[in-house]
Structure 1
């Protein structure tokens, strides 16, 4: 699938950037990457129209200046760009996420990922947060669902912690293909990848559900996750900012879930919910 990417130049950066991210999230933008001069934001082209920003309050405010450009981004293989920019992720000196061109670290858990995406995710923080949560959980013989699996990082880590079986789902075809490649690269035997969304979830049950997506999709699909979660199970959520926590808290209360633990990193949040 193709995306439309926006480059926003913002002055001053805060609180304008946070306000803009919140408003764009409501419009269906799926990925954000803060820059030194503003923000990169991406939306699926099928959900985009020329007037999509007409009612964005942040663009009309006299308190800050925001300008932008946009373009459609074709689905291409940007491995060379990732080689220039992708840095290894290290968590608690126990887990490393590296690309094939990085040197081995010798850590307890070492995940080799070859990302293939048409733009940078900007979500290293959320990956870090979810790995933090998974590190603290006993996943031995636990059934796991990884929604919005992306490159398959979290599903692969779950298998390294002896979880099985594991389902990894992503709506993007390239993510689905990339997950299968990374599963093979890490010699995983218990992960099944699927292309699709939460509509694939019918009668499945899981002990642990991981959903590292974005606030709007989480709010929309959380009842489905809850229905698929075994009693006493864990729901791990990330892909949103600290200012989004009240929206998630309200939804969790409606579903009878309790927030057990919260990790934050650079304003990103990872929640552990218990059923």
Structure 2
């Protein structure tokens, strides 16, 4: 089957919503790039009218541009094997796909077969979240992973000794992929589908993980604060360093104190604690 390939350049905060929109009209594979996303749809089933409407809806606000091409008979497993390299987060964790060999010298190992989901550890936000998780005591804790993607942060929480891990995502493909990755890493929980308001998780949680984007984090921050146990930790990423003040200022009004911030490639991550 031949695939249409669209190389889409857009603002970072619009990647996830574009993936969700395009998945609804028949796109079945996505790759994250430095400038946006590469999106793929079977040529035979392609709905150009719906595609052009989505592009037009986001063109200005997402600063969106695209180029179109044709990719014959894609073998997605082969594509991932060519493009997906293992990563190491210090000596804390080695993240690899199932077709890579294990490596000694790390406290933990995570096996991720990412398919079209985000969250492999390659992006600076995921990398920082994994590193910050390693600084928080997860032993026996109840953990919530918001917008879980591949499930990598939930898996890390499990490896760090969390007693109960809950996770969910708005994309049904992420849920399917996340559950496959949970199985690969011995995590028995199942990922839920929906927004935090739709899933309606029941606190309290000692740790909440949210690697999404600034707008969603600002919108949902009060929900996180309400779900946190006293002295519980909220780990955030998915935003730029220049956005730190906006998030920290809102957090303060909700009784959340900044404990640590980090940055990598102009992407930021925070540890907040509930008073």
- Please list, as runs of the form range in 1=range in 2, the aligned pairs for 1:254-269 lying within 5 A after superposition: 254-269=253-268
* 2:8 pairs with 1:7: yes
- Spell out, residue by residue over 1:223-254, the C-alpha distance to the aligned partner (whole angstroms, 9 max, x if none): 11111111100000011111221221222122
How far apart are the structure 2 equivalents of 1:173 and 1:117? 11
- Match of residue 242 from structure 1: 241
Structure 2 vs 1, CA of residues 79 and 228 (structure 1 numbering), >3 Å: closer, same or farther? Answer: farther
Structure 2 vs 1, CA of residues 122 and 6 (structure 1 numbering), >3 Å: closer, same or farther? Answer: farther
- Please list, as runs of the form range in 1=range in 2, the aligned pairs for 1:1-275 lying within 5 A after superposition: 7-8=8-9, 21=11, 35=34, 39-40=35-36, 48=54, 50-54=56-60, 68-69=65-66, 78-106=76-104, 107-117=106-116, 124-189=123-188, 191-199=189-197, 200-275=199-274
* Alignment TM-score, normalising by the size of structure 2: 0.76
- Match of residue 63 from structure 1: none
Contact persistence 1:258–1:273 (CA under 8 A): yes
1:203: Cα distance to partner?
3.2
- Spell out, residue by residue over 1:74-93, the C-alpha distance to the aligned partner (whole angstroms, 9 max, x if none): xx984332211112121112
Structure 1, gaps ≥5 residues long = 9-19, 60-66
Structure 2, gaps ≥5 residues long = 20-29, 40-50, 69-73
* Alignment TM-score, normalising by the size of structure 1: 0.76
Structure 1 runs (4+) greater than 3 angstroms displaced: 4-8, 24-35, 45-49, 51-56, 76-79, 118-123
Contact persistence 2:211–2:236 (CA under 8 A): yes
How far apart are the structure 2 equivalents of 1:115 and 1:244? 28
1:34: Cα distance to partner?
6.1
Structure 2 vs 1, CA of residues 246 and 187 (structure 1 numbering), >3 Å: closer, same or farther? Answer: same
RMSD between aligned residues: 3.3
Contact persistence 1:130–1:270 (CA under 8 A): yes
Structure 2 vs 1, CA of residues 150 and 120 (structure 1 numbering), >3 Å: closer, same or farther? Answer: closer
1:54: Cα distance to partner?
3.8
Say which SS state the counterpart of residue 187 (structure 2) adopts. coil
How far apart are the structure 1 equivalents of 2:120 and 2:52? 19
